[in-house]
């Protein structure tokens, strides 16, 4: 195939792109090629939010209004935006007829900026929330709650003002007459850009291919087993930005509709590997509301909007936050190749540090969750230095079934304690068939010390990790014991509204 042209809608205008490396970040292109310097470069690894932009794309049903969501421009490879819209902070004034957009005006009025470096990123995160409130018909009812605003800006790290005036701006941005994006016009423009063929983009020996079906993807993987699979790019972006790695062949999974699908599966869920973390966790939490806190604390909205559940599972990091809960639930991973498909328990997928039971020609096709069990008690908690958008020191998933006060089918998985996310088999054995009481808890905590020998590193000491894991097991007991279980609000150190929307 000859190299094709990337086509995007930039601030409402169609743009054709050629002659760039496939790993060029959206941020580098915006600032260097387009002169849109309102989008700032801060950490260049998706943490600080200074580069936040908003992406628009057609809904699964193109007849529906397009979706808008915030992403980090610094770790988004340009070809992944083919057929999509990108809005930068410069676009906000055009929506307001040359004046400040209500989001910007609220930041000014509430003194939400000092040096101003991080302000464009905050404005874009708040604009995504602003549009969402109007689309949902919530703007006339009441301003978004402080918790919801904190959640929206969890991926933006303020360097000087502090969050209070920014949260106040989020509460006041809906007071002015609305200045909204024309979604119907956007839909028409995106339909005009929609591609029916496979994008193949080349530059100086590097190639990006975006297959459109599972069969095409598997054939490409078979022919190019050394190629790099690209999903949301929230990890690969760092390979390029920080590791300065050259990626000669990228196979992008994001255009395979079947891999983005989330469907019921015998009472449980089948989550396509390319489903975004935002969509995947929304579906999981509808089935298991106990995991709402984990969803809120998983990275930040721009990372969850871009990253995929399959990518997080495939990465195999020992501190990946999705795996402990998924393993506790009994999730299975479906692997596919031109040779066929196979399914295995998620805990068996991880063999050693960053080593997985995945052949060179295989992909992760889906993650399957079993149906909820009526007697199951489920919790998952993450411990990190920051409440929002931080890497775990320990992340644990706990599940067991209580029948007449007796423990059945315990499943405990912990990340951050070993080279892989791993089940605590000795702890499970200490729980199985026992009454769920303090004596059993004490026995399980002793067994937990035999299950793991954590390492010391910059995030936490081995001693802290061991004590923290034991403490989380205690918390699980307190919330699920048969006699006088405590409500979640009684076992956590954060206010209820903070947990509902993310800490500030």
Is 1 a domain residue?
A: no
Q: Say if CB 146 and CB 167 are below 8 A apart.
A: yes
pLDDT tens digit string along 432-456?
Answer: 999 999 999 999 999 999 999 998 8
Q: Please tell me whether residues 173 and 302 are part of one structural domain.
A: no
Q: Please tell me whether residues 310 and 393 are part of one structural domain.
A: yes
pLDDT band at 503 (very low <50, low <70, confident <90, very high): very low
Q: Is pLDDT of 278 > 90?
A: yes
CA distance 442 to 215: 52
Q: Please tell me whether residues 315 and 360 are part of one structural domain.
A: yes
Strands (E), 216-287: 228-230, 249-252, 262-265, 268-272
β-bridge mates for residue 290, sequence order? none
β-bridge mates for residue 137, sequence order? none
Q: What is the mean pLDDT of residues 379-401?
A: 93
Is 497 a domain residue?
A: yes
Q: Please tell me whether residues 343 and 358 are part of one structural domain.
A: yes
289: how many CB neighbours lie within 10 A of its CB?
10
Q: Say if CB 386 and CB 452 are below 8 A apart.
A: no
Q: What is the pLDDT of residue 258?
A: 97
CA distance 419 to 448: 16
Q: What is the pLDDT of residue 497?
A: 45
pLDDT tens digit string along 105-152?
Answer: 999 999 999 889 999 999 999 999 999 999 988 876 788 999 999 999
What is the residue-averaged pLDDT of the chain?
A: 94
Domain boundary residue among 252, 282, 300? 252
Look up residue 459 and give its two tokens.
């995030």
pLDDT band at 494 (very low <50, low <70, confident <90, very high): low
Q: What is the pLDDT of residue 2?
A: 60
pLDDT band at 504 (very low <50, low <70, confident <90, very high): very low
HSE-CB at 183 with a 13 A cutoff on CA atoms is 15
Q: Please tell me whether residues 204 and 343 are part of one structural domain.
A: no
Q: What is the pLDDT of residue 489?
A: 85
CA distance 254 to 435: 47
Q: What is the pLDDT of residue 213?
A: 97
Q: At what angle do helices 438-451 and 462-480 cross, to 10 degrees?
A: 150
pLDDT tens digit string along 410-423?
Answer: 999 999 999 999 99
pLDDT tens digit string along 226-235?
Answer: 999 999 999 9
Q: Please tell me whether residues 367 and 452 are part of one structural domain.
A: yes
Look up residue 467 and give its two tokens.
């004590």
Q: Which strands, in side-by-side order, build the sheet including 199-203?
A: 199-203, 206-210, 249-252, 228-230
Which residue range is the domain that position 248 belongs to? 6-90+184-252
Is 399 a domain residue?
A: yes
Q: What is the pLDDT of residue 455?
A: 84
Q: What is the pLDDT of residue 236?
A: 93
pLDDT tens digit string along 190-215?
Answer: 999 999 999 999 999 999 999 999 99
Pure H helices in 330-392: 346-349
HSE-CB at 150 with a 13 A cutoff on CA atoms is 19
Q: Please tell me whether residues 220 and 303 are part of one structural domain.
A: no
Q: Please tell me whether residues 335 and 199 are part of one structural domain.
A: no
Q: What is the pLDDT of residue 496?
A: 45
Which candidate, 415, 407, 417, 421, places its Cα nearest to that of 449?
417
Total structural domains in the chain? 3
Q: Please tell me whether residues 309 and 395 are part of one structural domain.
A: yes
Within its chain, how far is the Cα of 469 from the centroid? Answer: 24
Domain boundary residue among 178, 210, 238? 178
Q: What percent of the chain has pLDDT over 90?
A: 88
Q: What percent of the chain has pLDDT over 70?
A: 97
pTM of the model as a whole:
0.94
Pure H helices in 261-363: 277-287, 292-297, 301-306, 309-315, 323-329, 346-349
């Amino acid at each position: 195939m000859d190299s094709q042209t990337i086509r995007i809608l930039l601030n409402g205008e169609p743009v054709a792109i050629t002659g760039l490396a496939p790993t060029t970040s959206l941020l580098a292109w915006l600032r260097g090629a387009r002169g849109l310097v309102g989008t700032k470069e801060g950490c260049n690894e998706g943490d600080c939010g200074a580069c936040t932009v908003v992406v628009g794309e057609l809904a699964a049903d193109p007849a529906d209004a397009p979706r808008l969501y915030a992403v980090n421009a610094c770790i988004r490879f340009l070809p992944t935006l083919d057929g999509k819209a990108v809005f930068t902070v410069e676009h906000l004034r055009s929506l307001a007829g040359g004046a400040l957009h209500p989001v910007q005006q609220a930041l000014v009025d509430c003194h939400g900026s000092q040096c101003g470096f991080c302000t464009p990123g905050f404005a874009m995160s708040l604009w995504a929330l602003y549009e969402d409130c109007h689309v949902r018909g919530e703007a006339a009812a009441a301003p978004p709650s402080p918790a919801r605003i904190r959640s929206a800006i969890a991926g933006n790290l303020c360097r000087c003002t502090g969050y209070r005036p920014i949260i106040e701006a989020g509460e006041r941005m809906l007071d002015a007459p609305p200045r909204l994006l024309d979604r119907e016009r956007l839909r028409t423009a995106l339909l005009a850009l929609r591609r029916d063929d496979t994008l193949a983009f080349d530059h100086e020996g590097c190639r990006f291919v975006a297959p459109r079906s599972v069969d095409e993807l598997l054939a490409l993987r078979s022919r190019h087993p050394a190629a790099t699979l690209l999903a949301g790019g929230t990890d690969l972006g760092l390979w390029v930005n920080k590791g300065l790695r050259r990626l000669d062949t990228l196979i992008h999974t994001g255009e395979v509709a079947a891999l983005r699908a989330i469907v019921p599966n015998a009472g449980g869920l089948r989550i396509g590997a390319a489903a975004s973390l935002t969509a995947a966790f929304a579906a999981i939490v509808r089935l298991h509301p106990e995991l709402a806190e984990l969803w809120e604390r998983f990275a930040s909205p721009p990372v969850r909007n871009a990253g995929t559940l399959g990518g997080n599972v495939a990465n195999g990091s020992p501190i990946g936050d999705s795996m402990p809960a998924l393993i506790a639930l009994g999730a299975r991973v479906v692997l596919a190749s031109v040779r066929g498909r196979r399914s295995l328990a998620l805990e068996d997928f991880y063999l050693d540090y960053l080593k997985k039971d995945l052949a060179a020609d295989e992909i992760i096709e889906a993650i399957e969750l079993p149906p909820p069990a009526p007697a199951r008690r489920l919790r998952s908690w993450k411990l990190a230095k920051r409440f929002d958008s931080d890497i775990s020191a320990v992340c644990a998933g706990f599940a067991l079934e209580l029948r007449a006060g007796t423990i059945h089918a315990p499943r405990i998985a912990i990340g951050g304690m070993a080279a892989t996310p791993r089940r605590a088999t000795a702890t499970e054995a200490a729980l199985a068939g026992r009454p769920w009481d303090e004596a059993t808890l004490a026995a399980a905590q002793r067994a937990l010390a035999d299950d793991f020998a954590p390492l010391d590193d910059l995030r936490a000491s081995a001693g802290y990790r061991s004590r923290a894991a034991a403490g989380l097991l205690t918390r699980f007991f307190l919330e699920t014991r048969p006699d006088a279980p405590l409500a979640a609000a009684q076992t956590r150190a954060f206010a209820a509204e903070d947990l509902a929307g993310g800490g500030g």
